[in-house]
Amino acid sequence: MTVVGPFGLSVRDQALETDVQAGLAAVEAGLLEATKSEVPFITEAAQHLVRAGGKRFRPLLVMLASRFGDPYAPGIVPSAVVVELTHLATLYHDDVMDEADVRRGVESANARWGNSVAVLTGDFLFARASHILADLGPEAVRIQAEAFERLVTGQILETAGPRDGRDPVAHYLDVIAGKTGSLIAVSGRFGALMSGADESVVDILTQYGERLGTAFQLADDVLDIASDSHESGKTPGTDLREGIPTLPVLRLREMAERDGRPEDLELVALLDGDLSDDARHAEVLARLRVHPALEQARRDTIQYAQDARATLAPLPECFAKSALEELCDAVVHRAG
């Protein structure tokens, strides 16, 4: 039994394991081919994050979803390349917006070549994804366009913040559904659709992907507070230091406004201060780790993962379904 994909997913059937590994290898080759240019510098920039690795979570979901139809259908690997190219393109753009220096353990494109090159490289990847989509038919183009619109809308909503009177937690969940859930939903949808699965199965795997994607991002929010750097792969409290309003912080603010406890109000005041100061940052992180807001964020994460798992109930029992269920369990474990 070999471990494949993100979270150390273990596939318990030899045939499925072999096919998933072969599919992911084909996707990797497709990514390298799609990021080649006649201009060597463009190839270098476009392959920068491809070669840095990553979980390949979205292609894995395409592969597993395809098992409910013909998993060898010709559109499956190209559609997996499309979703991963789109994801990679957003990372180039995100790093510019966040002024990030590191991505996947390597120097970010914007830090290495500047913002203009990073933005244009992201655009190049979007263009290459569109080129592949054109061969998959108008339905695939429409699905991807709708998902991309939702992704951009989520990013704009995050930048703009909640409008007056809007619940910040509800606003944040909308942001996450757009920024993260939409493309993971497309991964489930493409895998089922390209394999010729029944329409009801396509709908189930689309809903599953959206809920799992939201749970996955919320688990990251919890990890930013709760984990050590070895477990999460990044410095604890990174989002906190950068002022990104993740779910534990939003839950804290909600509790402080509702209950008015002095210790909560004091912690909110610390959050609103200068967290570039290491001592202040360490104090906020330590207090958040034992605050009920973190536990509430964990419960929220677990609920989305459970909802994703429940979505799979109508599907026939098989090893692919078990693997999809294990992804839900893995998300819960990450947030635990």
Tell me if 164 is assigned to some domain: no
> Is residue 6 pLDDT above 60, yes or no?
no
What's the CATH number where 72 sits? 1.10.600.10
Identify which of 158-167, 199-208, 274-283 has the greatest average pLDDT. 199-208
Angle between the 292-311 and 319-335 helix axes, to the nearest 10 degrees?
170
Same-domain check for residues 219 and 101: no
Please give the residue that has the higher pLDDT: either 77 or 280: 77
> Is residue 308 pLDDT above 90, yes or no?
yes
Rounded Cα–Cα distance for residues 82 and 214 (Å): 20
CA 108 to chain centre: 18
Domain boundary, last residue among 86, 114, 148 = 148
Contact indicator for 186, 65 with CB cutoff of 8 Å: no
- Per-residue pLDDT band for 2 (boundaries 50, 70, 90) equals very low
Same-domain check for residues 128 and 244: no
CA 180 to chain centre: 5
Same-domain check for residues 103 and 217: no
Beta strand spans in 255-315 (E): none
Please give the residue that has the higher pLDDT: either 63 or 241: 63
Tell me if 254 is assigned to some domain: yes
Contact indicator for 189, 58 with CB cutoff of 8 Å: no
Rounded Cα–Cα distance for residues 153 and 9 (Å): 31
> Is residue 60 pLDDT above 70, yes or no?
yes
Percent over 70 (pLDDT), the chain? 92
Contact indicator for 35, 125 with CB cutoff of 8 Å: yes
Q: Name the least confident of 144-153, 189-198, 218-227.
A: 218-227
Same-domain check for residues 214 and 140: no
- Per-residue pLDDT band for 3 (boundaries 50, 70, 90) equals very low
CA atoms within 13 A on the CB side of 60: 19
> Is residue 194 pLDDT above 90, yes or no?
yes
> Is residue 335 pLDDT above 60, yes or no?
yes
- pLDDT for the residue 8: 54
Domain boundary, last residue among 113, 133, 148 = 148
Same-domain check for residues 281 and 211: yes
- Per-residue pLDDT band for 37 (boundaries 50, 70, 90) equals very high
Identify which of 1-5, 24-28, 96-100, 271-275 has the greatest average pLDDT. 24-28
Tell me if 175 is assigned to some domain: no
- Per-residue pLDDT band for 50 (boundaries 50, 70, 90) equals confident
Please give the residue that has the higher pLDDT: either 59 or 273: 59
Domain of 28?
A: 3-7+10-148
Average pLDDT rounded to a whole number, residues 174-199:
96
Tell me if 124 is assigned to some domain: yes
Same-domain check for residues 17 and 79: yes
Tell me if 189 is assigned to some domain: no
> Is residue 176 pLDDT above 80, yes or no?
yes
Average pLDDT rounded to a whole number, residues 171-200:
96
User: What's the chain's average pLDDT?
Assistant: 90
Average pLDDT rounded to a whole number, residues 74-84:
97
Same-domain check for residues 210 and 336: yes
Rounded Cα–Cα distance for residues 111 and 149 (Å): 27
Percent over 90 (pLDDT), the chain? 67
- pLDDT for the residue 11: 61
Average pLDDT rounded to a whole number, residues 244-256:
94
- pLDDT for the residue 328: 93
- pLDDT for the residue 124: 93
Taken in order 63, 69, 71, 74, is the CA torsion positive or negative?
negative
pLDDT in tens, 120-146: 988 999 999 999 999 999 999 999 999
Domain boundary, last residue among 90, 116, 148 = 148
Same-domain check for residues 136 and 212: no
Instruction: Produce one character per residue of 145-168: b if its CB has 16 or more CB atoms within 10 Å, e if not.
Output: eebbebbebbbebbeeebeeeeeb
Contact indicator for 257, 268 with CB cutoff of 8 Å: no
Domain count, the chain: 2
- pLDDT for the residue 230: 44
Same-domain check for residues 202 and 119: no
Same-domain check for residues 119 and 226: no
Tell me if 167 is assigned to some domain: no
Same-domain check for residues 202 and 91: no
- pLDDT for the residue 86: 96
Tell me if 190 is assigned to some domain: no
Tell me if 177 is assigned to some domain: no
